[in-house]
Amino acid sequence: MAGLTYFHNKPGPEVRIPIDAGIAGHVATTGELVNIKDAYHHPLFYKGVDQDTGFKTKNILCFPICDETGVIGVAELCNKEQGTHFTKYDEEMALAFSSYCGLAIMHSLMYKRVADAQYRSKLSNELMMYHMKVPDDDVENISNNIVPDTYLIHAEFTRFEFNPRRIPIPDSARAVFSMFKSLGLIHRWRIPEEILARFILMVKRGYRDPPYHNWSHAFSVSHFCYLIINNTNILNNNMISELEGLGLLVACLCHDVDHRGTNNSFQISSNSVLAALYSSEGSVMERHHFAQSMCILNTEGCNILENLTKQEYTQCLDLMRDNILATDIAHHLRILPELNDMAANGGYNPGLPHHRSLLSSLIMTASDLSDQTKDWKNSKQIAQLVYTEFFTQGDLEKAMGNRPAESMDRERAFIPTLQIQFLDYIAIPVFRVLAELFPVANQPFHSVSRTKRHWTRAGEILKDRAMPGDCMTIFQDSSLDEISLE
């Protein structure tokens, strides 16, 4: 406080005095209550206020108002009406009143800070959506033209072997639209085609451009989800509900929106804004992806769920949230024993809600890892993107003075070994369970097992060459491809 302000009930300007002057100044600087029986004979009394206001001060009870940081104000009572001065009881009442004042002011300031943060967030969202705005011509190019059936996009579009990254990026949004159409989701949920087109394009714009966690990855994940639903026929056989089918495909599309190329542990160790928002709940990035998905859904002209009933709408949002959170590998590892039990003990039972939840999580994880189920060339290209992203994070961690995990340290990583460990402990168990539950989906399991053999052979070759420390150069070594494929 630079000074003290006096307020009174008579019209006129406020009266200001220095913070170290008078009785109020003494209380403000010491934080002590003062009870004065005769004001004009007290050495601290400042007569200037009476002179300015015409008020005659007889006795004074002055006390501080505090919060956890110290004195934030001073209250002063003058001229007790009944009695010659303020009593001990008055002092106790004043201190009790002071406590309530301190709490009220603290809560008021806290409310203002929260309100200000909400306003800033609203402005930031408005700014983000302005820059993410999708041109109407792009929307019309999808919604007003005949979207081809999936088999017309590519003859092998519905085969597990097909690599969706072969589809040019400019054509990918139309391909996503065709997947919604092929599964009957547009008709079933009465999704206006213009809104679906704008939603897909907004999600596409919501992805940043890190080496791996970008729109191409989201498109690949969505395509594999489509393959599972389409090829296993789980939707038509009522093994999942139509609402669950919608929640799965939308979640796959949105599951990494606004990914920054760094993982959950980095967010926490770097004390990022995202960690401040979500670290207490776990799955920092996944919660952010869901929040950004909600932001897009709530943008004008993008709500593909607008024709759902209130109950369906709430259920679909819950499904989207749970599905996106399921892409956290930590979540997958926690439920892996249950997935194995489900596959070993009679298989999937759609009548059990827990089985339905497990299946959705399995589909999300399998879709998220689906790049590993394509041919060796694609697997190697994807590994290059992944480790480019990993090593960039590792460099940031080193700059922060931290020691990155081996998989993110370009000086320690031996990529073939890391890939084999990843396949053994994460990818292969996922696709093994998927194949056990749905034999029609055994091709991805065989493919990922074959990929492991390629990495094993590649590692042996590099070790024979005495190049165990070699990292990214292996991706430019065409002879390694030729030898490992023999």
Catalytic residue list: 213
The Cα–Cα gap between 458 and 478 comes to 12
Q: Are 428 and 452 in contact (CB under 8 A)?
A: yes
CB 207 within 8 A of CB 258: yes
CA torsion angle 83 87 89 93 (round to 10)? 90
Distances (CA, A) of 316 to 249, 282, 304: 11, 22, 11
CA-nearest of 356, 360, 361, 367 to 334 is 361
Q: CB under 8 Å to 296, separation ≥6 — which residues?
A: 199, 202, 203, 206, 254, 257, 302
Q: Nearest Cα to 292, choosing from 132, 115, 143, 119?
A: 132
Opening angle at CA 139, ends 136 and 142, nearest 5:
150
In one letter, which amino acid is 409? D
Task: Output the CA–CA distances (angstroms, integers) from residue 455 to 116, 370, 459, in the order listed.
Answer: 53, 17, 6
Is 235 in contact with 248 (CB distance < 8 Å)? no
Chain centre distance of CA 30? 47
Structure letter (DSSP) for residue 238: T
Burial 1-14 (b: 16+ CB within 10 A, else e): eeebebeeeeeeee
Which residue is it, tokens 């799965």? Answer: 248
Distance of CA 115 to the CA centre of its chain: 21
